[in-house]
Structure 1
Amino acid sequence: MSLRPFTPTDVDAVNALHRDVWWPERSADGWAWLDANPARREIGAPSGWVIQDKTGRPAAFLGNMIQRFWQDDRRTHGATGFSIIVPPSVRGASRHLIRAFVEQPDVFAAYTFNANSRSAPLYARFGMAAWPPRTHHLKLSWIIDPIDCLHGRILREAVKRAPNLSDPYRERFMHRRLGAPRQPRLPSQVSPLEDFGDASDYADFWSALR
């Protein structure tokens, strides 16, 4: 097992890792969007890291999203770690992924929203601290349909006994229509954005917000 930067050729294997933990996989366009991220290219940062097995196939993954931040006219870069996936078969590999993430150069901060009570002690070993200091441990919850809760419990138990049942019932994070090829009907004065480059109207909009 060895650590290396994520490359576009790893997309299929990394999407398979997402499916294994019931997380939504990213589309080819989504991975291409991450790869074309201008902020990432400004500092030469990778789109993530993988732990590869003996054949070079990714066995674990940590994504790296670079964003620009502004303090007056001073531009800096921050890194968000996402989709941290380390299967039990490569237990311990998370240390190498997190070290690469927090020690990457040219970022003023490295942070992640993929944290829980089991992973928090590991993050602390690399100097990461929970934030906000006083309220990070609070968990918000709300009342949901008890029938849906019962359905979820039954489904999880069924999948434990027969894992091959899981594919048709994977959790949906987005409405089906968001992935449908049919274009929505928009008012005549509204048109979808297609150019997100540094010279686009979208970039001008964000520049005006600085």
Structure 2
Amino acid sequence: MRNRTLFKTKTSFRGVGLAAVAALLVGAGSSVTACETGTSADQAVVTSLTVRAADVTRSIGCGRRPGEVYKYVAVGRPVTENGLGNAEIGGLFDCFADATFVSPPLRSLTTYEVTVTLFDLRGYEAQAAAIDAALANVGALRDLPGSLGTLTCTGTVRDNVQAFAACKDPSGTVVPVVDASLDASDATSDSSLDASDATTDAHLDASDAATD
């Protein structure tokens, strides 16, 4: 089953893919319709909110073994002055796929609380029929019990910005949003330091040998 994303709104949405990104087209009114998605890394960045799969699976892993995340449901509700609003965005995602919601309902600056419900393979298979039925209603999707519990993620959506949600793992620890470019820079720095250390050690060993 491919990832499917739901929006509950009166506005039509366009989907773009990042890595296995789910997209959706919604008609007028409050009805919700899901559609299959594709991916395209070449399309321009638009207003979106992403929950990273790496953050979802960080503490227990992604896979088909018992206790590993096989699929997950992500459902977002806007944070308002009066508390949380009705569920407006949601979908079912593979454990390796980011949950990206393109052009979610936006009121200038909107913070979403995203509830992420985790399923291992056995838990997903046991509830597959209920999950498929709930995909037609984002509110019902949020009520599904997960076989591996839930995470809470929060992200603020801005117009024409690709936003990333910060998540809390089951222990309540906030998982930091990491910039991939910083990771690459760190890796380069680390390799340079390792090479420098190796060179220094070689010189010291040669010096010790000469002294002996």
Q: TM-score, normalised by structure 2?
A: 0.26
Question: RCO higher in 1 or 2 (8 Å CA, sep ≥ 6)?
Answer: 2
Q: Which has the higher strand share?
A: 2
Q: TM-score, normalised by structure 1?
A: 0.26
Q: Which has the higher helix share?
A: 1
Bigger CA radius of gyration: 2
